[in-house]
């Protein structure tokens, strides 16, 4: 729904002389006047800078490209025109953490042309929002017949102040699945985005990109001091981006908040993507699901055929019975197809079939049985990063799911390199993931990517793009030293800024009674409940073995918690310490709260002023029982209930690595 739209050509500059331009600074402000981008030509070189209020954030920084043969586009420009426009619209998400999103910005498009030589043109598009700024390059069609090879993008971010950066390393064989670390910006090497920084200026900022299409993803590398430079992930032959005629880069985004929690309710990344292109979205629905999944990770079942095969027809039917009993209407089944072996995860062009079931599994019998019991099966494709093999079968694989009535498909890409040679986040990977997403839309299938390219807001354009992994999920607790207690207090300020994550929380048996010795989830069970609110995803797994939910009163919260929201607010939080999130159900007047802490127990006082005035609510509270913490009775959840209104406040008592989950039911 568009509520307001303004497009005002403000002024267009004609050609300037070089001397006039050298002195001239072109400034763009956000609608509230706080965030500013300035562009100037210094020695024919475009440089931009960013500030908020009186605080300088980015001092004049490099822009431009290097094409093959050391051909630089960026140091010989004059400005041929500038256009300014504004936009203020409100649009609706098909599903999301907030229904109505306001897209309100001022825009400045600067037209540049080389003054001599090839006289090539380049456009710089800048947008200033109240929650940050963004810019991108448009290299328009201009009769260039040869292929274009981008060898480097010169974009730099010269940070005025150092700060505490929360980062994961780029070019790592585990892709984005690393624990975040905090270091001064000045000590960074090459890191992935979103890169969130608590600046010494007092502001919170996060670098990322939006609308990443047919281009390499951007990592950031420290070139000296506080200077971060775009480092595009290359193809195997070293070229960063290959294209013809023209290109448009993704938006380079800088979300800006007075404090870190402001970053979480910024919708700038989504606003920089194109509107929904899928006319009929009736087949796209958020889902909550159980799985034949955790059992494989903790070693109870195997992915491959054998006596403990998880995806046998018999076990699948038992899981459908559990889903029916627990009233959870979706079930993921992994390992149902031919090709799984104990070495399946090795990056070795492993051959999976996406249409042939294992001998002990009958897909039709299972999907029929599921349908009779009101359960939908979620399909699974593990490509093992053998993209050639997957793309050869993708049409028949998707057609099979259509035939079986399957509407959602999880697609995995375990392996350090796609086709054993390309990064998941280079242009090859970017194009591959976009191709699969569009192909799935043709088959009315929603997509859940594991080992994905990072999210840059594609869900606005293709709302069948539900969620992705792209960080260390809960599975690491099953078979490694696990995720420390603060991991989930860092993710909301970093990885989750990109978009929904399939984190797969909801483990009640946190000590993993049927798992590998010494492995456990480093959390209390109450924190696992709270995570269903903290972690936003339209496809939420209740990850524990279904038998661990049977007869547990706290399962009621997992059953009640919605998967689609009208609104989201962050009540408090510090990166790596704690965070309290509240979300309003899309289908009722109920609010839900999730509050989590790191290894330190803490009490948090919260105001309930987010609730509707003049209304009463029953607060159904699921908290760490007294004395409960990471190492002490972590599974004990105390359930209480009390009547509250918007003028009340509550003290949440969180145990070490604990949490509180609350349903505020309007009465
Ligand atoms: C890694 C994924 O994250 C996990 O969810 C999946 O079960 C395994 N790969 C097997 O494909």
Interval 520-529: pLDDT, tens: 999 999 999 9
pLDDT at 19 over 50: no
| Averaged pLDDT, 213-233 | 98
Interval 389-408: pLDDT, tens: 999 999 999 999 999 999 99
Dihedral Cα 8, 11, 14, 17, nearest 10 deg = -140
Instruction: Please tell me if the CB atom of residue 236 comes closer than 6 angstroms to any atom of ligand 1.
Output: no
d(CA 21, CA 586): 52
pLDDT given at position 196 = 99
Dihedral Cα 413, 415, 420, 421, nearest 10 deg = 90
Instruction: Please tell me if the CB atom of residue 412 comes closer than 6 angstroms to any atom of ligand 1.
Output: yes
Residues 6+ away with beta carbon under 8 Å from 518: none
pLDDT given at position 396 = 98
In Å, how far from its chain's centre is CA 596? 20
pLDDT given at position 1 = 35
Instruction: Please tell me if the CB atom of residue 414 comes closer than 6 angstroms to any atom of ligand 1.
Output: yes
d(CA 184, CA 475): 30
Q: 4-271 maps to which CATH number?
A: 2.70.98.10
Q: What tokens appear for 132 in the block?
A: 């940050």
pLDDT at 20 over 90: no
- Looking at the chain, the whole-number percentage of residues with pLDDT higher than 90 is 96
Q: How far is CA 449 from CA 150, 397, 432, 437, 507, in A?
A: 28, 16, 12, 9, 21
Residues 6+ away with beta carbon under 8 Å from 651: 603, 604, 605, 606
Q: Which CATH class is domain 481-667?
A: alpha beta
d(CA 284, CA 460): 13
Distance 599 CA to ligand 1 centre (A): 27
Q: How confident is the model at residue 21 (pLDDT cuts 50, 70, 90)?
A: very low
pLDDT given at position 24 = 82
Nearest CA to ligand 1 atom 5: 450
Distance 401 CA to ligand 1 centre (A): 19
Distance 133 CA to ligand 1 centre (A): 36
Nearest to 643 by CA among 664, 613, 622, 659: 664
pLDDT given at position 2 = 36
Nearest CA to ligand 1 atom 7: 293
Instruction: Please tell me if the CB atom of residue 455 comes closer than 6 angstroms to any atom of ligand 1.
Output: no
**Mode of pairing for the β-strands spanning 602-607 and 649-654:** antiparallel
- Looking at the chain, the whole-number percentage of residues with pLDDT higher than 70 is 97
Distance 309 CA to ligand 1 centre (A): 15
Distance 414 CA to ligand 1 centre (A): 7
Instruction: Please identify every residue annotated as catalytic.
Output: 475
pLDDT given at position 371 = 98
pLDDT at 14 over 60: no
Interval 423-466: pLDDT, tens: 999 999 999 999 999 999 999 999 999 999 999 999 999 999 99
Each domain of the chain, given as residue ranges in start order, spans 4-271, 273-281+300-317+334-470, 481-667
pLDDT given at position 6 = 38
Interval 290-311: pLDDT, tens: 999 999 999 999 999 999 999 9
Interval 514-558: pLDDT, tens: 999 999 999 999 999 999 999 999 999 999 999 999 999 999 999
The secondary structure of residue 185, as a DSSP letter, is G
Q: Ligand 1, closest atom to CA 382?
A: 11
Q: Ligand 1, closest atom to CA 303?
A: 10
pTM: 0.96
pLDDT at 13 over 70: no
Instruction: Please tell me if the CB atom of residue 136 comes closer than 6 angstroms to any atom of ligand 1.
Output: no
Using CA of residue 152, residue 155, residue 158, residue 163, what is the dihedral sign?
negative
pLDDT at 23 over 60: no
Q: What SS3 state is found at 369?
A: helix
Interval 244-303: pLDDT, tens: 999 999 999 999 999 999 999 999 999 999 999 999 999 999 999 999 999 999 999 999
Interval 332-379: pLDDT, tens: 999 999 999 999 999 999 999 999 999 999 999 999 999 999 999 999
Say if CB 144 and CB 73 are below 8 A apart: no
Mutate to test the pocket of ligand 1, among 414, 416, 480 (most ligand atoms within 8 A of CB): 414
pLDDT given at position 145 = 86
Instruction: Please tell me if the CB atom of residue 334 comes closer than 6 angstroms to any atom of ligand 1.
Output: yes
Interval 462-502: pLDDT, tens: 999 999 999 999 999 999 999 999 999 999 999 999 999 99
pLDDT at 3 over 80: no
pLDDT given at position 325 = 98
273-281+300-317+334-470 and 481-667 share one CATH topology? yes
Q: Which CATH class is domain 273-281+300-317+334-470?
A: alpha beta
Distance 544 CA to ligand 1 centre (A): 15
Mean of the per-residue pLDDT values for the chain? 96
Nearest to 83 by CA among 30, 123, 128, 44: 123
Nearest to 446 by CA among 278, 284, 276, 275: 284
Residues 6+ away with beta carbon under 8 Å from 255: 131, 132, 205, 206, 208, 263, 266, 268, 269, 497
d(CA 402, CA 363): 12
- Whether the upstream peptide bond of residue 164 has omega within 30° of 0, thus cis, is no
Q: How many CA atoms within 13 Å lie on the side-chain side of 190?
A: 11
Instruction: Please tell me if the CB atom of residue 408 comes closer than 6 angstroms to any atom of ligand 1.
Output: no
Interval 69-117: pLDDT, tens: 999 999 999 999 999 999 999 999 999 999 999 999 999 999 999 999 9
Instruction: Please tell me if the CB atom of residue 624 comes closer than 6 angstroms to any atom of ligand 1.
Output: no
Using CA of residue 224, residue 226, residue 229, residue 231, what is the dihedral sign?
positive
The secondary structure of residue 525, as a DSSP letter, is H
């Amino acid at each position: 729904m568009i509520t307001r739209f303004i497009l005002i050509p403000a002024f267009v500059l004609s050609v300037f002389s070089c001397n006039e331009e050298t002195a001239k600074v072109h400034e763009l402000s956000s609608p509230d006047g706080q965030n500013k981008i300035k562009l100037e030509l210094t020695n024919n070189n475009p440089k931009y800078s960013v500030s908020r209020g009186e605080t300088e954030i980015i001092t004049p920084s490099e822009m431009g490209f290097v094409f093959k043969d050391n051909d630089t586009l960026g140091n010989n420009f004059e400005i041929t025109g500038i256009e300014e426009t504004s936009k203020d619209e409100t649009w609706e998400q098909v599903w999301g953490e907030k229904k109505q999103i306001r897209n309100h910005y001022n825009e400045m498009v600067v037209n540049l042309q080389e003054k001599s030589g090839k006289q090539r043109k380049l456009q710089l598009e800048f947008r200033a929002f109240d929650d940050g700024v963004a810019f991108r390059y448009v290299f328009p069609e201009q009769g260039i017949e040869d292929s274009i090879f981008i060898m480097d993008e010169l974009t730099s971010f010269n940070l005025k102040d150092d700060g505490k950066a929360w980062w994961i390393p780029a070019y790592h064989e585990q892709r984005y699945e690393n624990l975040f670390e905090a270091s001064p910006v000045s000590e960074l090497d090459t890191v992935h985005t979103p890169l969130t920084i608590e600046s010494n200026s007092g502001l919170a900022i996060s670098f990322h990109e939006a609308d990443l299409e047919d281009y390499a993803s951007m990592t950031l590398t420290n070139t000296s001091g506080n200077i971060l430079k775009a480092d595009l992930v290359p193809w195997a032959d070293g070229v960063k981006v290959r294209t013809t005629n023209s290109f448009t880069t993704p938006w380079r985004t800088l979300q800006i908040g007075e404090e870190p929690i402001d970053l979480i309710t910024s919708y700038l990344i989504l606003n920089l993507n194109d509107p929904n292109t899928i006319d009929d979205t009736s087949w796209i629905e958020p889902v909550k699901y159980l799985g034949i999944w955790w059992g494989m990770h903790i070693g109870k079942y195997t992915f491959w055929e054998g006596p403990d095969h998880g995806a046998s027809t018999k076990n699948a039917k038992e899981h459908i019975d559990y889903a029916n009993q627990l009233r959870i209407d979706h079930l993921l089944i992994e390992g149902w197809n031919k090709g799984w072996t104990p070495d399946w995860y090795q990056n070795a062009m492993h051959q999976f079939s996406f249409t042939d079931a294992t001998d002990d599994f009958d897909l039709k019998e299972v999907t029929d049985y599921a349908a009779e019991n009101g359960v939908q099966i979620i399909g699974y494709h593990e490509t093992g990063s053998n993209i050639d093999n997957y793309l050869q079968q993708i049409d028949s694989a998707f057609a099979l799911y259509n035939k079986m009535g399957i509407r959602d498909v999880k697609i995995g890409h375990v392996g350090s390199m796609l086709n054993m040679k390309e990064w998941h986040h280079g242009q090859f990977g970017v194009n591959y993931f976009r191709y699969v997403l569009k192909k799935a839309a043709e088959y009315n299938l929603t997509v859940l990517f594991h080992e994905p390219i990072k999210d840059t807001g594609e869900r606005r354009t293709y709302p069948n793009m539900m969620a992705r992994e792209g960080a260390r999920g809960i599975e690491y607790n099953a078979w490694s030293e696990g995720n420390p207690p603060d991991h989930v207090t860092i993710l909301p300020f970093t990885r989750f800024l990109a978009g929904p994550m399939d984190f797969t929380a909801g483990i009640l048996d946190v000590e993993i009674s049927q798992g590998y010795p010494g492995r456990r989830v480093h959390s209390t069970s109450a924190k696992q409940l709270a995570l269903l609110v903290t972690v936003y995803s339209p496809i939420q797994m209740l990850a524990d073995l279904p038998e661990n939910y049977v007869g547990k009163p706290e399962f009621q919260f997992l059953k009640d918690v919605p998967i689609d929201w009208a609104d989201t607010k962050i009540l408090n939080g510090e990166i790596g310490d704690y965070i309290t999130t509240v979300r309003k159900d899309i289908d009722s007047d109920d609010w839900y709260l999730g509050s989590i802490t790191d290894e330190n127990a803490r009490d948090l006082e919260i105001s309930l002023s987010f609730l509707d005035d003049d209304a009463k609510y029953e607060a159904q509270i699921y908290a760490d029982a007294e004395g409960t913490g990471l190492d002490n009775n972590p599974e004990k959840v105390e359930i209480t209930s009390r009547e509250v209104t918007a003028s009340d406040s509550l003290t949440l008592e969180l145990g070490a690595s604990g949490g509180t989950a609350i349903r505020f039911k309007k009465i």
